[in-house]
Structure 1
C-alpha cells in the first residue's frame, strides 16, 4: 500500500508543477490532477478489498489452543 501512496505523492507534485507552469485551467493541469484522482481511487479500492476477519477468527488467531479453535482431520 505504501507503494501507491508514494505514487500519489509523486503525482501530486507533478500536478502542482504542471499547474504552476501552465495556467490552472489548462488541459495539462487538469490531466495531471485526473491522474492523482485515479490513483487515489485505486488506493481506496485496494483498502476495500482486504477481507475482514470475523471476531471468532481473531479470537482463534490469539488463542489457537482454545477448544473452539481446534481443527480435526478426518
Structure 2
C-alpha cells in the first residue's frame, strides 16, 4: 500500500509541474490530474476489505472442520 502512496505523491508533483508549464486550462494539466485521481481511486479500492461471511469466520476458528475442507482436482 505504501508503494501506491508514493506513486500518488509523485503524480501530484508531476501534475503540479505540468500545470505550471502548460497552464491550468491545458489538456496536459487535466490529464495529469486525471492520473492522480485514478491512483487515488485504486488506493481506495485496495483499502476496502470484503467482510467475511459466517462460514469464513467459522473456518478461521475451526480450520479442521469438515465444512472447511478444500478439495483440489
> Is TM-score (shorter-chain normalized) higher than 0.5?
yes
**Equivalent residue number for residue 11 of structure 1:** 11
Aligned to 1:10, the other structure's residue is in SS state helix
Q: In structure 1, what is the Cα distance between the partners aligned to 2:4 and 2:50?
A: 19
- Deviation readout 1:36-62 (Å, 9 max, x if unpaired): 0000000000001x3457xxx7xxxxx
**Contiguous gaps of at least 5 residues in structure 1:** 58-68
CA RMSD of the aligned region, Å?
Answer: 2.3
**Equivalent residue number for residue 2 of structure 1:** 2
Instruction: Go from structure 1 to structure 2 and tell me whether the alpha carbon gap of 1:13 and 1:51 turns closer, same or farther (over 3 Å shift).
Output: same
Q: In structure 1, what is the Cα distance between the partners aligned to 2:22 and 2:63?
A: 64
1:15-26 correspondence to structure 2 within 5 Å: 15-26=15-26
**Contiguous gaps of at least 5 residues in structure 2:** 67-73
Q: What is the count of residue pairs matched by the alignment?
A: 61
Q: In structure 2, what is the Cα distance between the partners aligned to 1:71 and 1:14?
A: 48
